[in-house]
Structure 1
Amino acid sequence: MLEALETQDVLGDGLITADALRAAGINAHAVDLLVKRGELRRLRRGWYALGAKWKAVGSDGQYCLFARATAGAAKRPMVLSHHSAAAMHGLPLIGAWPATVHALAPDAQGGSSHRLVTTHRAAADPNTTLITGVAVTSLARTLVDMAAGCSFLTGVTMIDHVLHQESRRVMAGAGNPGVPTITKAILFAELEAARPRTGRQAAERAITFADELSANAGESLSRVRFEELKFEIPELQVRFDIAGRSYFVDYFWRGVRKIGEFDGHIKYTRAAVMNGKDVVGVVVAEKDRESVLRPYVTSFDRWGWNLALNADEFYRFLCEKGVPRAR
């Protein structure tokens, strides 16, 4: 039976329908037992995923599976938008994904929310794209919708991510021929075309504040905190040339010669960063790097997720460390 489930998993690219299970000779009673044992995960009525795969893909992948199942079960073609499109495009979200699937409804009289689907009355997107067989709003439109309809943090985090990825592709010469690189200008043009009913100023603010030099969601979170808590926005990815080597730092307040770094511990787990070293070796290398930089600045401070997510504690931390206030 497990072999049959794995076959259906491959055929459905991670999704397994009740019809496919019946065709494979697995009746409703057997399905219930598989769900109880955790070998199958029921996403919604008539749609399943392998239990092991569900656990392995994490919250981002789980929301994508749910969105794809909901689109597959829809009676009419559905264009995923907002959070659902963001998840399908692989955009980072600080916080939890919603409990419903978001979709465009250009012809509706107004947005609505049902048990599993939230629809948005908005201009149709002429540039929708297919991801794993599901229609979703274009990457540029998705960023604009999220910036207009969500928090400043969410908008900035996602736009930072795309601008950073796009800049890296351009530098590597890996852009797609005929596909324009997403820039702030492209996003402002998309905002004009989308004409959101609300949130236009919020979207403009997020696009303006976004920075391609912000390398990950934690760095974006920290920058948003600096802005919201009225601290000076530092320079990003500043290079220090010392003894024939170059060192880049996350944040540099040049006026007071202060370095700040977001330490999300990702560098201690990602294979690309580990480069064959063990965790101890990576930590020692970071300490050695900090020792090299300290003589050239007045201070070198680090923080992580827990501190940056707590606005009150982060405010006190920044005050205590002498981070300059915004003028």
Structure 2
Amino acid sequence: MQLFTTITPTPATIPAVARPSVPLMHASQLTHVERLLARKQVVRVGRAVYAWSEDWRGLAPWQRYLCRVHAVALTHPDAIFCCESAAVLWGLPVFGDPGIVHILGGTEATSRVHHGIRTHTSRQRDDVVDLGGILVTGRATTVVDIARSRHHIIGFTLANAALRQDPTLSLDLLADSNENRPSTRGRRHARWVLANATALPETPLEAMSLAVLLWLGFEQPALQVEFPYSGGVDRVDFWWEGRRMVGESDGDLKYDGSLGIEPADAIRAEKERDRRLLRSADGIAHWGWRDVVLVSPLRAEVLRAGLRPVRAEDAASLAGIAKALRSK
């Protein structure tokens, strides 16, 4: 008996499946695999699937995870990927290398981990998507799965990205998916994420920053606000109009040359931009990834810039952020 219905999304709502950035090779394509492993010329990505070590060393953790998922797809072509494994194939943000690849099993399957693959027991699903020849749970199901089972910082970031990626998604649709599932496990946990997600943050760091700022007790900022000037427009990540304060989740990338800009030029441009913004703002706060993960540095930075909390901190949501993102 078929346990799912495969849906082919319209071209307007489906991206190309995220592909690994390095070649993956089945053991049958290599000669003397054990010798190559002993010489550290290849690394084992999945069962019977390998990559060249030189290629592997240059990958970010989340890129390695994408390779692990594709390795399972090579050896299990009928697998239905879910949770982080579906998310990474959709091109949605995944933190680090989660290691375990998640697939759905039928009602007769046993939940277990075997050879780096976790099989989840499942009731009938009506939104399995053929994504470039690989079966995955649909965006809404993937978002709700993670919102129910992961720390809010992870669920919120993924939900924001999914809303931005697919304009046909809505908070009502996600909430209905959560509330109408037969299982109540994780239903209450997911509600904050599905009530507060928004498509406006442009990066995972912006989404994480928004969540932590709200949990710290600061008021909801306006997002992606534009400040015109004679030569163009400055668009800011966060704007608290009542406090006339700008918040910028910069990260460190713009200063390391990765965007094709020399660090000194990037710093100079930011100072000039800040001077323009201070014509309209009384304060500007800048922070990066580490500040958000550790929470305290973000709190100190926005307080320094003049923002003040309007309610008590949500200690339960703030707890465990660093652990949830550890080594990610």
Report the TM-score when normalising by structure 2: 0.78
Change (3 A) 1:326 1:105: farther
Aligned to 1:5: none
Change (3 A) 1:313 1:285: closer
- Displacement of 1:279 after TM fit? 3.9
Change (3 A) 1:15 1:193: farther
- Displacement of 1:307 after TM fit? 1.2
Aligned to 2:317: none
Q: Deviations over 1:163-209 (max 9, x none)?
A: 23345xxxxxxxxxxxxx22323323433554444112232321221
1:7-18 maps to which residues of 2 (within 5 A)?
14-18=23-27
Worse-matched range after superposition: 44-53 or 186-195: 186-195
* 2:226 is the counterpart of 1:200: no
Q: Deviations over 1:220-250 (max 9, x none)?
A: 1111111222222211111223346322111
Question: Residues 24 and 49 of structure 2 are in contact (CA less than 8 Å); yes or no, is this contact kept in structure 1?
Answer: yes
* 2:311 is the counterpart of 1:293: no
Distance in 2 (CA, whole Å) between partners of 1:312 and 1:161 is: 25
Change (3 A) 1:269 1:106: farther
* 2:204 is the counterpart of 1:217: yes
Worse-matched range after superposition: 123-132 or 244-253: 123-132
Greater RCO structure (CA 8 Å; 6+ sep): 2
Aligned to 1:54: 56
Distance in 1 (CA, whole Å) between partners of 2:202 and 2:224 is: 9
Aligned to 1:245: 232
Aligned to 1:162: 162
- Displacement of 1:253 after TM fit? 1.1
Question: Aligned AA for 1:299?
Answer: G
- Displacement of 1:157 after TM fit? 0.5
Question: Residues 83 and 97 of structure 1 are in contact (CA less than 8 Å); yes or no, is this contact kept in structure 2?
Answer: no
Q: What secondary structure is seen at the aligned counterpart in 1 of 2:218?
A: coil
Question: Residues 101 and 117 of structure 1 are in contact (CA less than 8 Å); yes or no, is this contact kept in structure 2?
Answer: yes
The size of the alignment, in residue pairs, is 290
The Cα RMSD (Å) is: 2.6
Residue number among 239, 247, 272 corresponding to 1:260 in the alignment: 247
Q: What secondary structure is seen at the aligned counterpart in 1 of 2:126?
A: coil
Q: What secondary structure is seen at the aligned counterpart in 2 of 1:128?
A: strand
- Displacement of 1:159 after TM fit? 1.4
- Displacement of 1:259 after TM fit? 0.9
- Displacement of 1:133 after TM fit? 3.8
Distance in 1 (CA, whole Å) between partners of 2:142 and 2:34 is: 37
- Displacement of 1:100 after TM fit? 1.6
Unaligned segments of structure 2, at least 5 residues = 1-21, 312-328
Question: Residues 141 and 194 of structure 1 are in contact (CA less than 8 Å); yes or no, is this contact kept in structure 2?
Answer: no
* 2:50 is the counterpart of 1:41: no
More helix by share: 1
Report the TM-score when normalising by structure 1: 0.78
Change (3 A) 1:132 1:35: farther
Question: Residues 257 and 298 of structure 1 are in contact (CA less than 8 Å); yes or no, is this contact kept in structure 2?
Answer: yes
Aligned to 1:321: 305
Change (3 A) 1:40 1:132: farther
Residue number among 267, 287, 305 corresponding to 2:289 in the alignment: 305
Distance in 1 (CA, whole Å) between partners of 2:110 and 2:64 is: 28
Q: Deviations over 1:80-112 (max 9, x none)?
A: 110111122222134x33232111224047633
Change (3 A) 1:235 1:20: same
Distance in 1 (CA, whole Å) between partners of 2:69 and 2:267 is: 39
Q: What secondary structure is seen at the aligned counterpart in 2 of 1:122?
A: coil
Question: Residues 125 and 141 of structure 1 are in contact (CA less than 8 Å); yes or no, is this contact kept in structure 2?
Answer: no
Change (3 A) 1:161 1:266: farther
Percent of pairs identical after alignment? Answer: 27
Q: Based on CA coordinates, which of the two structures has the bigger radius of gyration?
A: 1
Distance in 2 (CA, whole Å) between partners of 1:92 and 1:54 is: 20
Q: What secondary structure is seen at the aligned counterpart in 2 of 1:53?
A: helix
